A and B are shown apart, each in its own frame.
Chain A
Amino acid sequence: MSPLLEIKDLSIDLYADSEKFNVINNINLTIEKKQKYGIVGESGSGKSLTSLSIMNLLPDALAISGGEILFNGDTDLTNLSKKEFLKIRGNEISMIFQEPMTALDPLYPIEHQIMEVLKFHGSYSKKQMRQLAVEMLEKVGIPRPQQLIKEYPHQLSGGMRQRIMIAIALICNPRLLIADEPTTALDVTIQAQILDLMNELTDNYDTSILMITHDLGVIAETCERVAVMYSGEVVEEAAVTTLFKNPTHPYTVGLLESVKSLGDKSNKLYSIPGNVPTPKQLTGGCRFASRCPHAMEICRSQAPPLFSIDADHKSKCWLYGEEEVVNG
């Protein structure tokens, strides 16, 4: 059985001031059917760009410069025409975004914004569409859906709007749901509810999730596998339990350390020194070298490949150089 989504050697370049900068460098990801996959990384690591490139919604200044994104085994999403993509977006792959407050069109009632997706991807009567929309709102836990459907986004809270975004994303029963920081802008009390809702619904619909987040807690709560991204590269990839138990890449270790120190009141908060390098600052070596406590001579001159720690665990770090090389 072929995987649902396979990102192969994907690179994305940024075009600015008539110069070209690499922002995503040769990443590989595989999401199986019904799998919950997470990408974690700090701001600027390229996790959102990766998700937007799957949807072909990259901003104008960015373009895919290499690699392919295979959907359902045979459809290369980087090669689809605009028209073919319309059938995929919102239908086969759908997406929810970070900011529920601004993600809905302020001028249309909720009803219109949900029914719109059905109109794009099917032929229903108005009555059927309204019926389906109300049912979907019930499923995402909206009280009084009959009345609420007539309201406008500004009349609803952030949590409600995110539920509506989920309803819009799932109403066409997509194969893949991309969730780009879906809980970051929400109250802590609402966050868990939204994650539970997404977990439950995607289980019912057999939908895979690609969860993009900077929050390892969200990964722990929802995902089965996880890729850690740093400066446009996947630096470690493993099952979630493995990653938490046995992190290998110094960046992952640092990330986990900074979360762990939150619970420990005696110590100062741990943070990884320095910042993510900008595309202009990149040298030939490992992109994490300037912040890495274990940096060696080779790290500064030569970028490490993804080494296999074991069959299911890969790490992009020279510390594991003796192991078998995965990607030449």
Chain B
Amino acid sequence: MYAYIVRRLLMLVPVLFGVSIFIFVIMRIVPGDVAMTILGTDATPESLKQLREDFGLNLPIYQQYFEWMAGVLTGDFGESMRTGKEVLPDILTRFKLTFELTLISAVLSWIIAIPLGIIAAIKRNTKTDFGVRLISLLGVSVPNFALATVLILILALFFSYSPPVGYVGFFEDPATNLQIMILPSIVLGTAMAGAVMRMTRSSILEILRQDFIRTIRAKGARERVVIFQHALRNAMIPILTIIGMQIGTLLGGTVIIEQIFSLPGLGQLVLTAITQRDFTVVQGAVLFIAFVFVLINLLVDLLYSYLDPRITYK
């Protein structure tokens, strides 16, 4: 098991290496560069050239890459070309927000989705089931930004409530922080819940058809035991797969939701950095997001083997 974990972590190296080359090259192929965005359209060719030389952008691309990589390998992701701030601490600060947002959204979605999915499976083809399926379809298909806007509007118009402006960290002021986080979490959680609900329903239905469920009923188990101890646990693997992918994606930042609720998260950082062609920030953030995504996948794989004794890693 430990050997497996170590091997998986070692596999991070080629993955991150590939990602780093990809993003490095892409950023340099995209038209426009940081010098142009800083100096604006009236800049003289001389001043542009001067600034590019300051950033080392005149060097051959492989040399730029090696210089950047040398820094990254020693934990120095460089400085933002726009703000001069160090890249890594900035990413980590924003990741805290994104992490909290992901966590609350995910927990909210599980609380709604898993019980409803189970109920829908048990009451298959009844009105309850159709109701749950309708809700989950809405959850999956209503766009985030639409739900977010409607939510803000309803709260403002009918309840004269608007969430606090300006982000406050959880450990500074939990009450305000939660007020800020809850609306975007509901919006994100709804979309996640839709998918999880559908997967829970179909996965439980699949398991309830299995022979061993009949054995458990034949033993005299109450329906509660049948569903929670046996059906749900067996159904958890596909549900976990979906949840893992959702969390991996969300941890990479949610550009639109962060924009609507003006949250300074990872998504916003990347978006701003891209429009400003802030190469170092984009590269650092993308590398970090890839790292987190791979780590979440590893975590999900380890959870599989915890849930199912047939899955072992050597």
Contact = CB atoms under 8 A, between A and B. Distances in A.
Interface of A: 55, 57, 82, 86-91, 94-95, 97, 99, 102-109, 116-117, 120-121, 152, 154, 165, 168
B220 A97 contact: no
A115 to B, nearest CB: 11
B219 A168 contact: yes
B212 A87 contact: no
B307 A117 contact: no
Contact of A55 (B216, B218, B221, B234): B218
B215 A165 contact: yes
A168 B217 CA distance: 12
Is the contact region of chain B dominated by helix, strand, or loop, or is it mixed? helix
A95 B221 contact: no
Contacts of A165: 215
B127 interface: no
Given A97-B214, A97-B215, A105 B234 contact: yes
Given A102-B210, A103-B212, A107-B234, A90 B218 contact: yes
A112 B93 CA distance: 46
Contacts of A94: 218-219
B218 A120 contact: no
A116 B219 contact: yes
B211 A102 contact: yes
Given A87-B220, A89-B220, A154 B215 contact: no
Interface in B192-218: 210-212, 214-218
B17 to A, nearest CB: 38
Contacts, number: 73
Nearest to A98: B211
Interface of B: 210-212, 214-223, 225, 230, 233-234, 307-310
B217 A57 contact: yes
Contacts of B223: 82
B220 A91 contact: yes
Contacts of A91: 220
B219 A120 contact: yes
B220 A121 contact: yes
Contacts of B218: 55, 57, 89-90, 94-95, 97
Contact of A89 (B217, B307, B308): B217
Nearest to A155: B309
B308 A117 contact: no
A154 B309 CA distance: 9
Nearest 5 pairs of A and B residues by beta carbon: A90-B220, A90-B219, A89-B220, A102-B211, A95-B218
Given A86-B222, A102-B212, A105-B212, 9 more contacts: A57-B214, A90-B218, A90-B221, A103-B215, A105-B230, A106-B310, A120-B220, A121-B220, A165-B215
Nearest to B223: A82
Contact of A104 (B215, B220, B222, B307): B215
Contact of B308 (A57, A86, A106, A168): A106
A106 B234 contact: yes
Nearest to A120: B220
A106 B215 contact: no
A102 B211 CA distance: 6
Contacts of B212: 102-106
Nearest to A94: B218
Contacts of A99: 211
Contacts of A102: 210-212
Given A97-B214, A104-B212, A107-B309, A117 B234 contact: no
B309 A152 contact: yes
B233 to A, nearest CB: 6
